[in-house]
């Protein structure tokens, strides 16, 4: 947060597709660890890169698998079944979507970034836009006149 590019931490459910994004002060372990624990269920496997901020995730009851990007590893087949289940590609796709969402704004002040991130998260979870939904969005609320 000290510079003009505050970090955003994110988790995505591989089965549900739900995302949780948080604008963080920094990427230190003491900041990241509570966010991981509050946004994931105990027992859920946590996939990440090899950032040291994620090292204590195993101790919180969440199995932790990593990919090491330095030797050009982006996905790994750990159990030999031909499926590369250890990867961060799902979250990387979310980051691309967020960048594309923010691009037309041409820069967001860091004080407002959390609101833009929340709008992106909401839009990501919105699966169907119906006529009724749009009507609710554009209809002004009824405010009774006081007598």
User: Over the stretch 35-61, which tens digit does the pLDDT of each residue have?
Assistant: 888 888 888 888 888 888 888 888 888
Task: Note the CATH architecture for domain 8-138.
Answer: 2-Layer Sandwich (3.30)
pLDDT of res. 121: 92
Digit-coded pLDDT (tens) for 68-112: 877 877 787 778 888 787 887 888 888 899 999 999 988 888 888
- Gap between the terminal Cα atoms of the chain: 50
Show the tokens assigned to 111. 């004080």
Residues in the chain: 147
The pTM assigned to this predicted structure is 0.73
pLDDT of res. 2: 65
Domain ranges across the chain: 8-138
Helix 89-102 and helix 113-125, axial crossing angle in degrees, nearest 10? 120
DSSP 8-state symbol, 145: P
Q: Are 32 and 54 in contact (CB under 8 A)?
A: yes
134 has pLDDT over 80 = yes
What's the rounded Cα separation, in Å, for the pair 13 and 29? 21
Q: How far is CA 36 from CA 7, 57, 93, 133, in A?
A: 14, 8, 19, 32
Residue appearing with tokens 């554009």: 138
């Amino acid at each position: 947060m000290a510079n003009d590019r505050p970090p955003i931490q994110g988790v995505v459910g591989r089965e549900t597709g739900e995302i949780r994004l948080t604008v963080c002060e920094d990427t230190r372990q003491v900041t990241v660890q509570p966010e991981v624990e509050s946004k994931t269920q105990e027992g859920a496997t946590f996939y990440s890169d090899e950032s040291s901020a994620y090292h204590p995730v195993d101790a919180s009851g969440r199995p932790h698998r990593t990919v090491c990007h330095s030797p050009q590893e982006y996905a790994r087949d750990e159990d030999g079944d031909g499926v590369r289940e250890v990867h961060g590609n799902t979250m990387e796709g979310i980051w691309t979507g967020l960048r594309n969402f923010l691009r037309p704004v041409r820069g967001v002040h860091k004080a407002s970034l959390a609101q833009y991130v929340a709008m992106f998260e909401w839009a990501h979870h919105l699966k169907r836009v119906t006529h009724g939904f749009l009507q609710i969005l554009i209809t002004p609320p009824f405010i009774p006149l006081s007598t």
